[in-house]
Amino acid sequence: MIKDTLIETLGIEITHLESGKVVATMPVDKRTRQPFGLLHGGASVALAETVASIGAYELVDKDSEGVAGLEINANHVRPKTEGVVTAVGTILHQGKTTMVWDIKITDEQDRLICVSRCTMAVLKIKK
């Protein structure tokens, strides 16, 4: 599912997946930096929504449900110019039609780079 997607393009790797928690890494390099050399806020948001989406998908009935991002916000609290960031997403609310995920993105020293909250819609699908 990841091949030929934004996940692959940005170098995002899922390193841990369990019910209600997802951990992923993303490099800070030419793919994810903005013109001034800093980690692009949009790349951080893409990482956050990826973590929430994968986590939400793991919690639904894959035969009759899908998920899609409904809303996301992010606070970029520390700049990052190189290395790797790690996103840890945990579920805050799991309802029948929505889920809310908390995502914290940190650097190699566990310093907070970005904090995000993502609301996922749970969609009924027809086969």
Q: How many CB atoms lie within 10 A of CB 110?
A: 8
Please choose, from the candidates 44, 50, 125, 57, the residue with its C-alpha nearest in 3D space to the C-alpha of residue 84: 44
- Helix, strand and coil percent figures for the chain, each rounded to 5: 20, 50, 30
Task: Please name the residue that has the structure tokens 């639904």.
Answer: 60
8 is catalytic: no
Q: How many CB atoms lie within 10 A of CB 22?
A: 26
Q: Residues 49, 71, 82, 108: which is the catalytic one?
A: 49
Residues annotated as catalytic are 49
